[in-house]
Each structure stands twice: as structure tokens, then as C-alpha cells.
Chain A
């Protein structure tokens, strides 16, 4: 079944062609699994195609919002319902040389995977997409204050999960 007329399909294909690299990277950061990242992006883009008349004005914003919400939804589904806060801190992730790029990527990636989806989304929106807090709040459907607190908690959690990063994520940055 066709979803879009000829003109709209041309626009949609042009958008996908222009944005696929950037969107693929965002999905890759949101999901720790490459296959899930691919599924996530396809789901978000399919939703965008189905609502193209509304999304066409700002398709990038639309698909990114869908990506983040869908990622959070999937995480909740997989994890089941959380019962309470953990009383003990999980074993920190170790790496040998924080100055080595490969080690650094491995550690940050592992630490990101252990954040809550919202904390991960906030960090990606702030530090990868470089969006201001107001736009992050709009995408995640929360207040600016929540974005600030989630960012602070996420950075603090990164320092706990990967103590070697503590020197790179300074207290001032964590508190900011």
C-alpha cells in the first residue's frame, strides 16, 4: 500500500537521503545494539512517513522526537517495571588507559548503556545534538528543570560507573 503521493514521496526520500547519516548515528547512540538501532530508526521514520503532512515542515525535529520516545518505550518494555532504587552501586567499569581513544569509547559506551533511557537521551541531546535545554525539554516532554537535573544526575552517574572518567568530567561540569 502506498503511503505518500508522488510529490510527498520525493520529499520524504530526499529527507531520508540527507538525514540518514545523522539519524543513524543518533539511533546508534540511543541503542547499545546495532540491530535495535536500525529497527528504532526504521520505526521512527515509518511513523514520520505516515504523518508526513504534519511532519514535513520540520521533519528532522519530528523524527528525532519519535526516536527518543520510542527508545524510552522499548527500554521500558525490555526491562519490565522497575520496583525500587538499587541499594548498592554496580561494579565500576574498568579500563586501562583513559587517554587511549579506543578504551575511552568502550568505557563511555558501556557507561551510557547503564544509564536510564532518559538520562542517556538527555546526554545525547545536550552533548551530541548540541541542543539547548529548552529544546531538549520540548523533545522529551518535560520541564527545563527536569532536563537540568537529569543532566546532572547522568553525569554524576557516569563518574560512578567509570571512575577513570572523573578527571575528564570535572565536578564543575557535573554540577553545571
Chain B
């Protein structure tokens, strides 16, 4: 035992002075939290009951392990029964009529690939970053014609040691033409965290991390958000970030949905707040958007969904220790609210998972959520955001059950790759 360390810690601690009125402050804070939760609890209890009933039902109807459906084909707008693929993770899910596919990245080589939802066909895209960036931010445009991704010349590992060239790249899949936007960052460089396409595929919302501090097992930095013209690669506007996490575009491309610590907000593309939407508990909102990468609003703009980890009661998912934790899908009505002005919410239990990610929508009532449940295999569930009913949209491919399996859902691409 170190007397030196003990005495120094006590010396440092003596610098702290208790706040006068601490008990009053705390009781006021607790009162506000209880008021928010009163709305949530009945709805969550109902959702939990429904989910348990459905889980039992689905378990009874689930196929036996090892049984793989033969070449299933489903029509546009519906959900395919399965697709198998190399190890990786689904990043984008869209519905389009040409070649229904999911964009994923191969987590070993860094090459993004498209998975057909109608067969086991896999297409590699000509956008591999030789710098070693694993393509965390690859994103397919809704019309299936372009892929945008963050590129770091010396690789993500190198960004901790030195300033590294970084770019946003937008590739037109039919021609291979690439538009690039330099990301100068500060200090150690800049890393793209999320890319969200506008519905008409003409603009991108980019959330990037300006790395200005290296820590022992990662880095720190400040996030910035900006809008990019997908045709030219030009940065056409900055979004006032305010420490929030920005999600989907409105259908008309004029507004964005933002999740802050204790509320959701609708902001315009300059970051001006159009509307505040108070939610029940700040401990269940913002941090998880970055880990899960998943929150979005419905095409009709009436519902917002966010994947929420529940590692411990009141605490976030621990993604780093490899343990599985229950996940929730938080569903917030953007139109209705209670008498206190809080948005109407339900929590849909998604069961035990290492990660949940809101990947898209079947329609305005059904969100598609990618899950990494116990065992590491991936699946996509369809969630009725009004009733909380969870339906397994895509079954696991029994042929690849030992590692992360990419599952394509209701998606598309224009094809024509070179």
C-alpha cells in the first residue's frame, strides 16, 4: 500500500468544498426526474408485457437450427427471410426497386460490400481505403447510386500519433468518379463518425470528430457537423452542434432531428432550434446514439426512435467488456405530449444484445433495427413503433453462426459497379 499515494489523494480531496444547499438541489433534481418518469412507466410496462408474449410466440415459431430457407425472394417493400455474408456489420438499409441490398463493411479488409436481399450475392465496391480505415462511416445513398465514407490516409491508429490527412469521399458507383472534401481538423486530424443522406440523395449530413487530444486507449475531441453537396463534394453549411447527436433529415430536406442530453430537438440545417421535445430521462438518451449509431425519425416525421443500451439500471451499455446487455428501442412521439409537455414515449425491449442500431424503415410505422445479440450473430428486427411488437425480419443464416453475420434487409442499390 502506498502511503505516499494515500496522503496525496487526501491532500487533493481537501481542496473540494461541499456545496451549501446540496440536499435542496438534489431533491429538486430528483423531483424533476420522477415527474418525467411517471409518464414512461405505464407504457414501458405494457410494452414489456407485449414483448414477452411475442418473444414466447416467436420462440415457438422459430425455425430449428441448421435449417436454411432456399433462395427466398420477396417483393419490394417487404422483408427478405435471410441472406448470408462474410463477417461484417450492416451500416445502411434502404428500399429501392432495382437491386435490393444492404451496404456493409468487411471489418478485416476495410472493403465495403453490398449484399443482395434476394440471394447470397455479394458485390465489393471500388472504394477501399488503403490507409486502413475500417469504414465505420460508409453510407449508401437512398437512391443507391453513391457511397460516402470517411478516409484517413495513414489509418485510424496513426491519427493518434500525428496529424493525418483525412477526407470525406463520395463515390458514384456507376462511374467510379470520386468527389473529395479535405477534413483538416486540428491537432491530430479528423475522423468521420456518421453520414446521413437526405431523402433525395443530394446532400449529406456529416458528423465528424476533430481529434485534439490523445488518451491512453483512444482519443478525445470535439464533434462538428456540416452539410455537404453530394454532387460536388462541397461543404455548403455548418450545423451548430451543441453537444448533441444529429439524426435523420426531414423528408423535404429542411430540418434535422437532434438528440441532446435531456431532450430531442428539431433543428434547421444551420442548427437553429425549430422545436424542443422533452423526453423522460437524460440518462437514457444521448450517449447511446454514438455507441449504437442508431436514431432516426420516421418518413412521416411523427415518430423518432433511438436504440438505448441498458447495461445496469440507470447506466449505459458497457460495449467494451464483451458482455451482453439488454437493449431498448426508445420510441418518442414527436406530435403528442402529456400534460407536463413531455413527449409520449414507449420503450420496446430488444432483449440481450451487445449492440443495437436503427438501420432504416420499412414504412412510417415499422423501424428496422440491427441487433448483435448473444452469441455474436447479427439479425435485423422489424419493430412496430406504435404497438411495440417486434418481429424478426431476417433470420440468422445457420451456415455462419460462429461470428458476426451480416444480414441484409429491405434495401437496394442501382448496380452497375466497376
A residues adjacent to B (C-beta < 8 A):
1-4, 9, 12-13, 16-17, 20-21, 24-29, 34, 37-38, 41-43, 45-47, 49-50, 66, 69-70, 73, 76-88, 90, 101, 104-105, 108-109, 114-116, 123-124, 126-128, 130, 141, 155, 157-158, 165, 168-169, 173, 176
Min distance, Cβ B211 to any Cβ of chain A, angstroms: 10
Stretch at the interface among B266-274, B312-320, B388-396: B312-320
Q: Is the CB of B2 within 8 A of A124?
A: no
Any A CB within 8 A of the CB of B177: no
A residues near B221, Cβ cutoff 8 Å: 80
Known A81-B319, A86-B218, A168-B2; further 7 A-B contacts with Cβ < 8 A: A13-B23, A21-B18, A37-B16, A45-B30, A77-B316, A82-B217, A176-B1
Q: Is the CB of B290 within 8 A of A29?
A: no
B residues near A88, Cβ cutoff 8 Å: 160-161
Residue of A nearest to B157 (CB): A84
Q: Is the CB of A86 within 8 A of B23?
A: no
Knowing A21-B18, A49-B26, A79-B220, the reply to whether A86 touches B160 (Cβ < 8 A) is yes
Q: Is the CB of A157 within 8 A of B319?
A: no
Complex Cα spacing A77 to B316, Å: 9
26 contacts between A and B (CB under 8 A): A1-B34, A12-B23, A16-B22, A24-B16, A24-B18, A25-B13, A41-B22, A45-B22, A45-B26, A45-B30, A50-B30, A78-B220, A79-B215, A79-B220, A80-B221, A80-B290, A83-B157, A86-B218, A108-B12, A115-B216, A116-B217, A123-B9, A124-B9, A127-B1, A155-B5, A158-B5
A residues near B217, Cβ cutoff 8 Å: 82, 84-86, 116
Q: Is the CB of B30 within 8 A of A24?
A: no
3 tightest Cβ-Cβ pairs between the two chains A and B: A82-B218, A28-B16, A25-B13
A residues near B312, Cβ cutoff 8 Å: 69, 141
Knowing A12-B23, A104-B8, A105-B8, the reply to whether A50 touches B33 (Cβ < 8 A) is yes
Q: Is the CB of B23 within 8 A of A16?
A: yes
Q: Is the CB of B2 within 8 A of A173?
A: yes
Min distance, Cβ A33 to any Cβ of chain B, angstroms: 12
Min distance, Cβ B198 to any Cβ of chain A, angstroms: 25
Any A CB within 8 A of the CB of B64: no
Scan residues 124-164 of chain B and give those whose CB is less than 8 A from a CB of chain A: 156-157, 160-161
Any A CB within 8 A of the CB of B31: yes
Knowing A16-B26, A46-B26, A128-B10, the reply to whether A1 touches B19 (Cβ < 8 A) is no
Complex Cα spacing A127 to B1, Å: 8
Q: Is the CB of A101 within 8 A of B1?
A: no
A residues near B316, Cβ cutoff 8 Å: 73, 76-77
Min distance, Cβ A55 to any Cβ of chain B, angstroms: 12
Min distance, Cβ A171 to any Cβ of chain B, angstroms: 12
Q: Is the CB of A86 within 8 A of B5?
A: no
Complex Cα spacing A27 to B2, Å: 21
Q: Is the CB of B12 within 8 A of A105?
A: yes
Min distance, Cβ B16 to any Cβ of chain A, angstroms: 3
| A20, A34, A70, most chain B CB atoms within 10 A | A20
Q: Is the CB of B2 within 8 A of A2?
A: no
Residue of B nearest to A107 (CB): B8
Q: Is the CB of A114 within 8 A of B216?
A: yes
Complex Cα spacing A13 to B22, Å: 9
A residues near B291, Cβ cutoff 8 Å: 81
Scan residues 1-52 of chain B and give those whose CB is less than 8 A from a CB of chain A: 1-2, 4-6, 8-19, 22-23, 25-27, 29-35
